[in-house]
Amino acid sequence: MPRKTKVTTGGIRIDCGEYKAVITDLEDSYHEKYKENYLWKVKIKDPTLDGEEIEEDIELGFFTGRKLTLSGKNKLTKLVKAVTGKTELEKGAEIDVDDLVGRPIRVIVEDNPKEDEIYSKITGFLPLKKKKKTEKSEEKEEKSEEKEEKKEEKKEEKKEEKKEEKKEEKTADDDVDDLFKFSGD
């Protein structure tokens, strides 16, 4: 099966959709309209074009502002929530955005038409999917819990046996003491 890629003057083009990615770089940036912002770069894992796998991972960039908001409407807040898995950010919380570099994420890629070209643009972020438990892993977990319960039961039984032994020893000691009391009278 041939692997295709397409070079355009406007930028990189891959199929629209959801992709696993890794944040690879963060740079300070400036734009006349948006002022100071960040330029993020992510490496898209297993990209496709026209349904065919592209030979190499693709790197795409996107801009965000520099402020986090409680509303979660701005791009930086959405990115931080997706990477960290947090659903809400606390007022006054400080996030070191440099710590996000190297972290995995899922991105949503859409077509972005410019003049006579179409290139791909990251339009959203999603947290990594949590692995679903399979039937085998659930069975394994249940067996492990059962083993643990049996161990606890055995420990309890041993404790009870030791208590009984101590009671019997004490009773035997008391009997011996009583014998000595009789013989000494």
SS (H, E, C) the chain: CCCCCCECCCCECCCCEEEEEEEEEEEEEEECCCEEEEEEEEEECCCEECCEECCCCEEEEEEECCCCCCCCCCHHHHHHHHHHCCCCCCCCCCCCHHHHCCCEEEEEEEEEEECCEEEEEEEEEECCCCCCCCHHHHHHHHHHHHHHHHHHHHHHHHHHHHHHHHHHHHHHHHHHHHHHHHHHC
Say what the pLDDT of residue 131 is: 63
CB atoms within 10 A of CB 112: 15
Residue type, 12: I
Say what the pLDDT of residue 6 is: 39
Closest by CA to 100, choosing from 79, 71, 124, is 79
CA 37, distance to chain mean position in Å, is 26
Say what the pLDDT of residue 147 is: 75
Closest by CA to 103, choosing from 37, 42, 46, is 42
Q: Which positions of the chain have pLDDT values less than 50?
A: 1-9, 185
Say what the pLDDT of residue 181 is: 62
Say what the pLDDT of residue 25 is: 93
Tell me the pLDDT tens digit for each residue of 104-117: 999 999 998 888 88
Say what the pLDDT of residue 72 is: 75
